[in-house]
A and B are shown apart, each in its own frame.
Chain A
Amino acid sequence: MVSDSIAAAPILSAANTKNPGKKKRTNRSAKLKQYKIDARREQWLSQGAVKNKGCKDGIDDDGHVPSLPVGKHSKRELEKVETRRRGEDDDVSIHQDSDSESPSNSPISSNSSVLCGNDSGTNFTGSSSGGSSSSSSSSGGCYSGNITEEEEDDDEEVEEGDDECLDDWEAVADALAADDKLQTSSQDEPVVETDSSCEVTNGSGVGSMSSKPGSDGVLPWASGNNKAWRADDAFRPQTLPNLSKQHSMPNPDRCCGGGIPWSRNSVPSNCPICCEDLDLTDSSFLPCNCGFRLCLFCHKRILEQDGRCPGCRKQYECEPIETEASVHGGSLTLRLARSVSMIERTLKCLQIIIQQTGPWVVFEHQGRYSTEILC
């Protein structure tokens, strides 16, 4: 498909503008290739002429249709789309897909349609009115439609230096993120994730990410929900406990001292029930919303009896926080896994999540749950 689409671009320009520069190449192999391409074009043209006889709509709309190499399969698609949603941008993309002789799936079609959004209008205006320049931009759109699948195409697009496509890149990411909510096909999701990750690397940090509402729900730590607060996060709620203290502040007086021995602001070094040391799993274990921490052994012992939290005397709700943690952690891991090659910092967090079983804590803050990663 890649070679086809690359080969299709010169054909397009040659067919539309009779660009002499292509034929003046001194390189023999290039000439040979050109001959081959010409031969294929002749073949396509003959096929297209035969097929176009049965397709009056395309001819009426635009005179360039017979001259364009249009495949058999995409011809039918073209007819459908023309009758159904004439004047939409998707027609351009399908037109491009027909060049590459590959029926592509719908998300990629919409992708290229957004990229070529400036080529709006009726069917085939992208190639008819713009001439060579617009056709090259259209082919750029075609490439960027493929870009999410193969990196070679990414390079192609950068080499072409089509500024319009690059400018529209963020808009495409936004549109894709919005599109992702509608299309739940599993095949589409990795494409969207990769796009958003590219966007993140192009952007300038958290501010640019949070300013895009379209990217919500794509990256968990960039969105409002499921946010994993860092200890140094400026927007971290004050009410969340300070987890950094647990390693540096052993406080034995807190264990059996008077008053309230537990506090949201610190993690005791010993279990207040059995006075044994809390290990990392214990200290990241938060079985109750009241913030009372205890070791897993004592928690199990209490569950065997009345099952009430020693801190607030409320019933442990069938370990709801643990479930939340696993659910949140699971989604976090899945989402991060797609953009793992893009962000090193994310990768670190991801590794910790995968390698250890409980390095995060879930907090409820103003009715929503947030995860805190202990790294």
Chain B
Amino acid sequence: MIDFARVQKELVECSKDAEGSGIRVIPKSDNLVHLIGTIPGPIGTPYEGGVFQIDITLPEGYPFEPPKMQFSTKVWHPNISSQSGAICLDILKDQWSPALTLKTALLSVQALLSAPQPDDPQDAVVAQQYLKDYQTFVNTARYWTESFAKTSSRGIEVKVQKLVEMGFPEAQVRSILEAVGGDENLALERLL
């Protein structure tokens, strides 16, 4: 059974500090099992300027079991699958601790973006490129950030803001926008 009281509290705590950390956690649906986390790309990295979305699914045993996290934004990173967005991070697996929170886990993911560990790769191709041709890796990662992390997320944020200003709840707007593939008009039809 998920400790929803704790999840609720985590969301409140996270929204308090959203401006400072840039990390947001928003419920994808009403049941608090599926959430969307967003982290800004760390400054001084190829991911700078991008906003990366992470799908979060809370297991039954949360917080005694780690949350399942996966990049929904495409990222070029040795420890993140370029195909599925799966994250290779110890605290999301065996090194999870109930004392960690969604926010601290997302902070760790953000730190992983700044400090790739190609020796323990999730994506072997990216890891090889990182080790053998670092400049190409940087260029590719920057290109992916420009292509996927900026436009899509910026576009979505703008659409979300528009729809929220119309008077719809933000969570609902986000979930519907995602369900319709980011089409603003389709989302508005659904909302109405």
Contacts and interface: CB of A to CB of B under 8 A. Distances in A.
Partners in one complex: yes
B82 interface: no
Given A274-B5, A274-B6, A311 B99 contact: yes
B17 interface: yes
Nearest to B101: A256
A310 interface: yes
Interface centre among A273, A292, A301, A311 (most CB of B within 10 A): A273
Interface stretch (A105-113, A257-265, A357-365): A257-265
Given A258-B17, A305-B64, A275 B9 contact: yes
Interface string A308-351: 10110100000000000000000000000000000000000000
A255 B9 contact: yes
Interface in B51-105: 61, 63-64, 95, 97-101, 103-104
A308 B13 CA distance: 26
Contact of B10 (A256, A292, A311): A256
A301 B107 CA distance: 26
Nearest to A305: B64
Interface string A143-174: 00000000000000000000000000000000
A313 B97 contact: yes
Nearest to B61: A305
A302 B5 CA distance: 18
Contacts of B97: 308, 310-311, 313
Give the interface SS of chain B, mostly helix, strand, loop or mixed.
loop
Interface in B1-40: 3, 5-6, 9-10, 13, 17, 21
Contact of B98 (A255, A257, A258, A298): A298
Query: Is chain A's binding surface mostly helix, strand, loop or mixed?
Result: loop
Contacts of A311: 97, 99
Contacts of B3: 274-275
What 4 pairs across the A-B complex have the smallest Cβ distances? Answer: A310-B99, A310-B97, A310-B98, A256-B13
Given A274-B6, A292-B99, A310-B100, 4 more contacts: A255-B9, A273-B98, A310-B97, A313-B97
Interface of A: 255-258, 261-262, 272-275, 292, 298, 301-302, 305, 308, 310-311, 313
22 contacts: A256-B6, A256-B9, A256-B13, A256-B101, A257-B13, A258-B17, A258-B104, A258-B107, A261-B99, A273-B64, A273-B98, A274-B6, A275-B3, A275-B9, A298-B98, A302-B64, A302-B98, A305-B64, A310-B100, A311-B99, A313-B95, A313-B97
